[in-house]
Chains A and B, each alone.
Chain A
Amino acid sequence: EAEVAQSPRYKITEKSQAVAFWCDPISGHATLYWYRQILGQGPELLVQFQDESVVDDSQLPKDRFSAERLKGVDSTLKIQPAELGDSAMYLCASSLDRYEQYFGPGTRLTVT
């Protein structure tokens, strides 16, 4: 069964450092999502891509976060500089249609 791949699974970084996460969606899924899940809460959307275009980044803290999906396949989410409050699980999801989203295993980020 096809799955969404994410790496790394765990990342520990110091405050003010740069960090990047990678996501490879299910083949053929045009829509890709990045979510942030703070411990004890539900996921919140950071950015949504349709192919290589951003369709919603209204909740992305653009002063420090950036996301790209250059060829409309895999995607990278970057944080620079990282802050203590960025510690969270970062989830990638993809979908063939607008609503049924398939999630990857996530990247657990700890900022020290």
Chain B
Amino acid sequence: AQSVTQPDIHITVSEGASLELRCNYSYGATPYLFWYVQSPGQGLQLLLKYFSGDTLVQGIKGFEAEFKRSQSSFNLRKPSVHWSDAAEYFCAVGATGANNLFFGTGTRLTVIP
């Protein structure tokens, strides 16, 4: 069965600093991987996705993520965080033939001036 682990519940970074949010997944085959962002009281917005090919994927808002099969990871990165990036970030995995996505428990990002 698929599962997603986001080990960091809450991360605080200074504006302008770099960011890395961790995501580990469990799945027997090649997964489809996603990062979503959720602002308070809002729905989820897709930041980026990985299906196949280049393991470094670029997304919106300056985010990127790298798929590492050997580590079962799909970490999200941003070189310079902006105050508007403060939100909840969810990693999700989908599997070939599966109907739905499995989400991690999320990482809340706080950005301090």
Show the binding face of A for B, using Cβ within 8 Å: 4, 6, 33, 40-45, 48, 55-56, 91, 93, 98-106, 108
| A42 lies within 8 A of B99 (CB) | no
Query: Whose C-beta in chain A lies nearest to the C-beta of B41?
Result: A108
Q: List 24 A-B contacts (CB under 8 A).
A: A40-B105, A40-B106, A41-B105, A42-B90, A42-B103, A42-B104, A42-B105, A42-B106, A43-B90, A44-B103, A45-B101, A48-B100, A56-B100, A93-B44, A98-B94, A99-B32, A99-B34, A99-B51, A100-B46, A100-B49, A101-B46, A101-B101, A103-B36, A106-B43
Inter-chain contacts of B104 with A (CB < 8 A): 42
Q: Chain B at the A interface: mostly helix, strand, loop or mixed? A: strand
Contact residue range for chain B? 20 to 34
| A102 lies within 8 A of B46 (CB) | yes
B9-40 vs A, CB cutoff 8 Å, 1 = contact: the mask equals: 00000000000000000000000101010000
Inter-chain contacts of B46 with A (CB < 8 A): 100-102
How long is the Cα–Cα vector from A41 to B103 in the complex, in angstroms? 9
How long is the Cα–Cα vector from A98 to B32 in the complex, in angstroms? 11
How many A-B pairs have beta carbons closer than 8 Å: the answer is 55
| B105 lies within 8 A of A55 (CB) | no
Nearest Cβ on chain A to B30's Cβ, whole angstroms: 13
| B42 lies within 8 A of A43 (CB) | no
| A106 lies within 8 A of B42 (CB) | yes
Nearest Cβ on chain B to A46's Cβ, whole angstroms: 10
User: B residues 77-113 with Cβ under 8 Å of A?
Assistant: 90, 92, 94, 99-101, 103-106
How long is the Cα–Cα vector from A5 to B106 in the complex, in angstroms? 24
Query: Whose C-beta in chain B lies nearest to the C-beta of A104?
Result: B43
How long is the Cα–Cα vector from A103 to B43 in the complex, in angstroms? 6
* CB contact between A105 and one of B36, B42, B103 (< 8 Å): that residue: B42
Inter-chain contacts of A100 with B (CB < 8 A): 46, 49
